Each structure stands twice: as C-alpha cells, then as structure tokens.
Amino acid sequence: MPTRPTVKTATRIVRREGATARQIGADICVAGAGIAGVSAALEAAQLGRKVALVDGLHALGGQAVNSVIGTFCGFFSNGYSGYQTVHGIADGILRDLGAQGALHYRHGGPSNTIVVQYDEIALARWIESQIRAAGITVLLGAVMREVKRDGRRIRSIELATRYGDASVAAAGFVDATGDAALAWNAGLPCREAADGPIYGTQMVVIEGIDEAHQPERPEVAARLKQKARDYGLTRESGFAFVFPGKNIALVNMTHVETPLDPVGMTTKSLEGKEQADRAVAFLRAEYPAAFGNARIRTYGALGIRQTRWIVGRQQLTVEEVRAGRNFPDAVARTGWPIELHDTPQGHVWEPFPDDHLHYVPMGSLVSGECDNMVAAGRNIDGDVAALSSVRVMGPCIAMGAAAAHALDLAGAGSVHQIDNAALRARVKDNVERRD
C-alpha cells in the first residue's frame, strides 16, 4: 500500500506594528548594481572588505544587462587597433565571454574605436557568478527610503523591499545608482541638465533576420533620417547592429525622455516600447530581405543616459575633455566621443583622433560635503557635454574600482584626505597601461 504524503500545515500570522528592519552591516555599501557598482563591489571584496551591494531592480547588472545595451563602449583607445584602456573586471569579462563566443569586436566606425558587442544573458550570468563567489551580501528589489547622516558622514541607508524593511550601515558608501539617488536622499547638492532633458533609448533585440542581406549602417542612417516621420519615429538617427552568426540584431533607434518622476517614468517606459515597435516596422518595410521576418525577442528596460549627478569637489568640463587633460588624481580614461543626446531628433557626435584620451579626476567622484561617499558611473560631476563622453561602460568600470580603493584608503577617515599618489598607484592600469 503506497505511503501517504505528509500533509503540511499552515500557521496564521498577522503583521506586527513597528516591525524591526533587517539590519545589515558592511565595511563598504555599494548602492547600484550596474557595471560601475559591480566593479566597485568586486574590487572592494578583493581588498578584503565586507561588502553589501544594493539595487532597486530584482536582477544584478543594471542597464548593462536589464536595458540590453549590448555594446561595451570605451574599453579601447581610438583607432582601428587600439589598446585596452580599462582593466579590473573588464579583463575577466572579455576573457570569459570571449571564450563562450558571446562577444563580437567591431573596429573603427563612427566612434573611431573598438566597440564590443556582447550577449546580455552571458554577461548577466558572469556578474552573478562573480558576485556570489566573492561572498558579497546582495539585496535586490530594495528601494531607498531614507539616508541617515551624522554631519559629514553617511551612517546608513534605509530600504523597503516586498519582504520587509532593511537597513544597511557601513563605514563607506559608493553611489553607483546612476541618478545620484544616494547623494540626493542624503541631502547632498546635486545637478540636473538646465536646458531640457537628455534623452534615453528603448533598446530591443530582434531575431529571425537574414545576415546575408544586412544593409550598411550609413545607408540605414540616411534612410532613417529621410523616413523617420513616415513611421512615427521621433529620433532620426540610430542603427541595427547584427551579431554575426546568431541571426539577431541590436536595435537602437529611439529617443525617450527619462524623467525623475515615478508616474512620468512609467509612462515614458511604455511609450518607449511603442517607439521600438515602430523602429522594427521601419526595418521590416525598408529592408525586407534582411529584416522582413524579424521579430522582437527582448525589450530592455528603458535605457537612461543622464538625469541627476553629484556636485563634486571638481567638475570635469568639456574643454578638459577636448584637450585630453590628464589630472594628477586621474582614476579613469577613455577616447569615447562626446555623445550628447539633447534633442528628440538626433544628438551631438564629436569623435576624437587616434592619439586622443581624456581622463576623469578623483575630485569629480566626491562631494565636498561628505567624507565617506564616492560616486561612480554616470552620476559623477561633469558638465553636460563632458558627462556624455565618460558615462560609457569602460570608464564606469574604472570609476567603480577607484571608488573601492578610495574608501579602502580612507578607512574611518575622509576620502578628501587620502594620498592621491597611493590611489594613483592602485589604479594605474586604468590610467597608464598601454599594452
């Protein structure tokens, strides 16, 4: 006679008033699990620090994974055969994803550098495995409600999750949120673009294409500029990057506002998907041999370029970018063009010659009013045009690593009093190495 399965019982529960938040302690708390935050967290863990990594999304990787950006930009110096300008986690990503056949290198082109296409699923799994192996405490789906400060020091961040509240206390904090959410909620001064929005992009991956008939990028750009309005498209520029051998393409043909308002952002996210549908309709109709049977495989989350950033001890300027100024406290470098998406129809595109590099100073990563917070990624301090040239993934990785080292050097002291020569020595591969 068969054995009856054990019947599970249920316990009646009622939420208690004033329930205590889950307390999490760390040496370094990284807010934001995009590429800059992941770089900071892994670097801090490698330094032997106890690390907490917090993000409002329910998956690691930020925009690099969840917005399906699909291209690593700013990893190499300019020219057809440039050298790698960022190391740290970039080395592991290029090595491991390359071994999987999950990368494709594009040389030259409008950016005059090497752009690397990647499989976002492979990148997501790489990030997850590295974070787990490093023993980092991860808190996802956590929305920041409050930041507690004691004078010039941040003490903790208070978070809400669907599973209850949490509080993360640490000696140092990295603001890698992209929108300077940590600095903003801590009451630190921030900046926004004064002359209108910087537009984001709704990315999609399409499958079922015929690679043998793919049109050249300049031809697509010219036809899009001519016919965008016929298809109801706001943006009159963009591209569809085919990933060779996989019959898929990455479509970047939309411009969408990305407001810092909960209702507004949701509305724009829905509008972005409609714009993406129109872009794919354009490709199907105008290039039926290549895209006639294409269908959308993935809609990314709405991609954000620039919204709000810190007021730093120093502001990187577009004049310094154009001049390629190398600062004594430089922590990152790139040759990426000025890429300012400040109009609905198009964007400013200013590429640089082969021998050009510009640098990010440590002073742009720290607020003059806080001793234990370092920004990393697209929310460092720069003027609008300067930020457009350093917010891509290569320098963001370098900034994340520098943030970890700065907090490690500061310890219980101030990030404004660390030895810049010691920091420069730690990050020299990202500012000096040329092999």
Segment holding 411, helix H or strand E: none
- For 22-194+307-430, the fitting CATH number among 3.50.50.60, 3.40.309.10, 3.40.50.720, 3.40.190.10 is 3.50.50.60
CA 98 to chain centre: 21
| Largest Cα–Cα separation, the chain | 84
Please state the pTM of the whole predicted model: 0.96
What six digits make up the tokens of 410?
């500061």
Show the low-confidence residues of the chain (pLDDT under 50): none
* CATH 3.50.50.60 residue window(s) in the chain: 22-194+307-430
pLDDT digits (tens, 9 = 90+) for 40-94: 999 999 999 999 999 999 999 999 999 999 999 999 999 999 999 999 999 999 9
pLDDT at residue 125 in the model: 98
∠ CA(234), CA(235), CA(240), 5° rounding? 130
pLDDT at residue 340 in the model: 97
User: Residue 314: what are its φ and ψ, rounded to 5°?
Assistant: -140, 140
**Distance from C-alpha of 260 to C-alpha of 178, rounded to nearest angstrom:** 11
**Distance from C-alpha of 27 to C-alpha of 14, rounded to nearest angstrom:** 35
**Distance from C-alpha of 195 to C-alpha of 342, rounded to nearest angstrom:** 9
